[in-house]
Amino acid sequence: MSFPHDRPRRLRATPAMRRLVAETRLAPADLVLPLFVKEGLAEPTPIGSMPGAVQHSPASLVRAVRDAADLGLGGVMLFGVPAVRDARGSGATGPNGVLNRAIRDVIAEVGDGIVVMADLCLDEFTDHGHCGVLDAAGMVDNDATLERYQEMAVAQAKAGAHVLGLSGMMDGQVGAVRDALDAAGYTGTATLAYAAKYASAFYGPFRDAVESTLAGNRRTYQMDPANRREGVREMELDLAEGADIVMVKPAMAYLDVLADVAASSPVPVAAYQVSGEFAMIEAAAANGWIDRRAAIEESVLSIKRAGADIVLTYAAVELAGWLREPRSGGSAG
């Protein structure tokens, strides 16, 4: 009888050995926590389709960001839910708009202790729910929207945001925002370009969280789920316009795109484990079909393994806590 000389199982024998040879590692600093702040709330309000996530009051948001900083998370991404919306998303640029106020409050609390990111898109602020200004035919007007994005970028930078998350998928948005920031003197404010953002079915719970008014879909400006190579092309366009970080969204359903982008990007790559991906894990775990902690850890590890340097996930706080726990024997299964 002959035996193989190459025995990979030797390197799987114990938890300590598996840790030693692990090819992919997670740390709290890799994680970004998305957070919602709603105008007029006195207390946090649970989001039914996103177990464990809430719409924050201004005060509870500040506490949540402080906790995230104390846990060593890499960053937070802030989304605003205004009380009043209009066709141009005026609340996105007013200095007292819910998101701009929240940025100022958070920066006053944590300063540079954690990276404060802000969503730069109009969908939460428009009464029609689209990511831009509409023309007379009801279609998103790309160039008119870029002007609003420039105004929004300067407002968020003035409020103190470290990174602006350009999530609207308008052509030329990175270059337009970079020009506006530099002209206003905010040369140190970074841009996170949602380079490959797909028109996905997995955004439903997020739209509950921001109380979206969208009727219809965003397929004329978000990417077609059928297209893989286009993800790299979109990344290259954003890099040419000066993006500091690029994003693939969603993450779990687009790991192939994420791997392609990570293989060729000269800048850090982020990926967003979106609301629907998070909610599926929660729902399956609530029914006893999967081990919740193991599924969260495995899903986020898969995103990191595919090439993400930064992972946005609603499980960031719990995951950071688990990563900081003393090592145990681990699962034998």
Measured in degrees and rounded to the nearest 5, phi and psi for residue 193 equal -90, 120
Residue 9 lies in a domain: no
Number of domains in the chain: 1
Rounded percentage of the chain residues whose pLDDT exceeds 70: 96
Cα–Cα distance, 158 to 186 (Å, whole number): 8
- Read off the pLDDT band of 208 (50, 70, 90): confident
Any domain includes 331:
no
Inter-residue contact 129 to 157 (CB < 8 Å): no
Catalytic residue status for 304: no
Is the per-residue pLDDT at 332 higher than 50?
Answer: no
- The per-residue pLDDT for 213 is 85
Residues 279-290 pLDDT 10s:
999 999 999 999
Average pLDDT (190-195) is 97
From the candidates 38, 158, 249, 304, give the one annotated as an active-site residue.
249
Q: Is 172 left (phi over 0), alpha (psi -120 to 50) or beta?
A: left
Residue 1 clears pLDDT 70, i.e. is over it: no
Distant-in-sequence, close-in-space partners of 276: CB < 8 Å, separation ≥ 6: 200, 201, 202, 203, 204, 205, 206, 250
pLDDT band (50, 70, 90) for residue 327: low
pLDDT at 118 exceeding the cut of 60 = yes
Is residue 332 assigned to a domain? no
Residue 16: inside a domain: no
The answer to the question of residue 10 being in a domain is no
What mean pLDDT comes out for the span 85-105? 96
Look up the domain containing 89 and give its range. Answer: 26-324
Q: What is the CATH number of the domain that holds 33?
A: 3.20.20.70
pLDDT-based confidence at 329, cuts 50/70/90?
Answer: very low
pLDDT at 219 over 90: no
Question: Could you tell me which of 327, 196, 197, 307 has the C-alpha nearest to residue 262?
Answer: 307
pTM: 0.94
Q: What are phi and psi of 271, to 5 degrees?
A: -145, 145
Classify residue 17: in a domain, yes or no.
no
Domain assignment of residue 269, yes or no: yes
Residue 333 has pLDDT above 70, yes or no: no
Spot the catalytic one: 38, 158, 197, 304.
Answer: 197
Q: What is the mean pLDDT of the chain?
A: 94
Residues 6+ apart with CB under 8 A from 58: 37, 41, 98, 101, 102, 105
The answer as to whether 65 is a domain residue is yes
Summarised one tens digit per residue, pLDDT across range 129-183 is: 899 999 999 999 999 999 999 999 999 999 999 999 999 999 999 999 999 999 9
Confidence of residue 330 (pLDDT cuts 50, 70, 90): very low
